[in-house]
Amino acid sequence: MIKAKQKPIAEIQQLIAPYNNVLVLGCGTCVTISFAGGEKEVAMLASSLRIASAMAGKQHTFTEATVQRQCEWEFIDAIANQIKRADAVLSLACGVGVQALAERYPDKVILPGVNTTFLGMAVEHGVLVERCRACGDCVLGLTAGICPIARCAKNLLNGPCGGSQSGKCEVNPETDCAWQLIYDRLGRLGQLDRLDAIMPPKDWSKDYDGGPRKIVREDLKL
């Protein structure tokens, strides 16, 4: 799932400073699960902004709403009136949602309230980790289910590098060395011989290096 983290409130205050009436718009899917932009976070942020605004003697008003997904036209169309009434929309959705709003409401200032950070999961409640880089060419079948693109700081395909120590990455002693993990798991699966094969250079054109990507399913088009 897409994981995001709310921007520091000082940054948000700067973004919304020129606008009197701001709609704080949450999203009920990924950012809710990341505890960054769901209905509750919207309420907390709006409350904090009201306090800050009142402290400064300003007259900002903050309205609140949350849609099921901001990355779906129908859902963001449904709140057209609320958006119309606002001077600006502070979207707590991931970058996809923010852009969808901007495309659908091109005459409205749409501002991002979170930093979309990575594709990942909660390994423990409250601890989110990156797991996938959406490289467009998944090699997890060759690396015992551990992604060297997302989890190796140098995205080695023939790792580990010389900086792997006690199973941890030289970049961050709390980060597992992905290649140690791959080595261990290939061992468990009896597939260590996979490491003899040289994985050829990656086709980065399938990643965003090839330009913004698109999937078209002719069989689904209405």
DSSP 8-state class, residue 218: T
Kindly state the tokens that stand for 180: 């140690």
3-state secondary structure of 125: coil
Q: Given the complex with another protein, which of 28 and 95 has the nearer CB atom?
A: 28
Tell me which of 127, 166, 190, 222 binds another protein, using CB under 8 A. 166
| 161 is a contact residue toward another protein (CB under 8 A) | yes
| 55 is a contact residue toward another protein (CB under 8 A) | yes
Q: Which residues pair with 25 in a beta bridge?
A: 65, 91
| 40 is a contact residue toward another protein (CB under 8 A) | yes
Ranges of H-type helices in the chain: 9-16, 30-33, 39-55, 73-77, 80-85, 95-104, 148-151, 178-188
Contact 24, 90 (CB under 8 A): yes
Amino acid at 86: A
| 139 is a contact residue toward another protein (CB under 8 A) | no
| 125 is a contact residue toward another protein (CB under 8 A) | yes
Using CB under 8 A as the binding criterion, the count of chain residues that bind another protein stands at 56
In sequence order, which residues have a C-beta less than 8 Å from that of residue 125 and are 6 or more positions away? none
Q: Given the complex with another protein, which of 108 and 206 has the nearer CB atom?
A: 206
Q: Given the complex with another protein, which of 57 and 106 has the nearer CB atom?
A: 57
Interacting residues with another protein (CB under 8 A): 8-10, 13, 28-29, 32-33, 35, 38-41, 43-44, 47-52, 54-55, 57, 59, 66, 125, 153-167, 170-171, 177, 180, 183-184, 195-196, 198-202, 204
